[in-house]
Structure 1
Amino acid sequence: MPDVLVEIREGWLAGQGSEFLAAIQDAISETLRTPLHDKILRLVQHAPDSFSIPDWTGERFTHIEITMFPGRSVATKRALYKAIVENLARFGVPANDIKIILIEVARENVGMRGGNAASDFDIGYETAV
């Protein structure tokens, strides 16, 4: 699963953090074809005076950074953006208040599973989707 960092202003999610992250996770697993159980998602809720947001957004502005291995097509990335926006609508997040940034990191630049480079073993899913 890609590493996901979600940042919002505190106060509006009202105890639904787990469900909010699950909605993002579902979109990622569906479009990138990653296993549901292999997840790293972090939700940071900032005090409003600690998180300056664009003037054209509302209080539910959601900033999402997804760090993942390269290989996905532009069509797959577009499908990911749409799926996340659709899944967050149930939380009252307007489509225009979501910004998603993909950060692609080569597998040899990620150490995991005992200090091994991710390029040295089968991660369990295909990234060329």
Structure 2
Amino acid sequence: MPATRIETRRGWIGTRRPDVIEAVQRALLTGLKLPEDDRCVRLLEYDHDAMIVPSGRGASYTVVEITLFSGRTLEAKRRLYAALVEELSVFGVPADDIKTVLVEVRPENWGLRGSPASELDLGYRIDV
């Protein structure tokens, strides 16, 4: 049940917000092998003067921060990184403009339905 935040500068997405969010969701499904209904993706756009980016990066520089349960394999993370680049390339975002940050949380530190996730049947494996 990752919680995903997409952060970028305002202007390049325009009316394609839902499409960008769905593209990131597809990358999560591909990379982490999540169930289709596992969805928590937010998009934040900043004014140009509210976000500095590394030199040489374009207007579409995007940070995708994913908070997720610890336990994913390196192979799953590789699939995720590659899927994000592939999905966002449709919008003209070059691979150099994509930064992905994974924040891994132990399931007992994540509350769902009033209980620690470590005590619930999530319906899928996290050690993919």
TM-score, normalized by the shorter chain, greater than 0.5: yes
Question: How many Å apart are 1:71 and its aligned residue?
Answer: 1.2
Helix, strand or coil at the partner of 1:91: coil
Helix, strand or coil at the partner of 2:27: helix
Deviations 1:68-96 (A, max 9, x none): 00111111101110011001001010111
Q: TM-score w.r.t. structure 2 length?
A: 0.97
Match runs of 1:1-129 below 5 Å = 1-113=1-113, 115-129=114-128
Q: TM-score w.r.t. structure 1 length?
A: 0.96
AA in 2 matched with 1:120: E
Deviations 1:18-72 (A, max 9, x none): 1101111101112211112121101000000001111121110000100100111
AA in 1 matched with 2:53: I
In percent, how many aligned pairs have the same letter? 42
Aligned equivalents of 1:34, 1:57: Cα separation in 2? 31
Whether the 8 Å CA contact 2:31–2:78 is kept in 1: the answer is: no
Aligned equivalents of 2:35, 2:26: Cα separation in 1? 10
Structure 2 spans left out of the alignment, 5+ residues? none
Aligned equivalents of 2:36, 2:19: Cα separation in 1? 14
How many corresponding residue pairs?
A: 128
RMSD, aligned CA: 0.8
Question: How many Å apart are 1:11 and its aligned residue?
Answer: 0.9
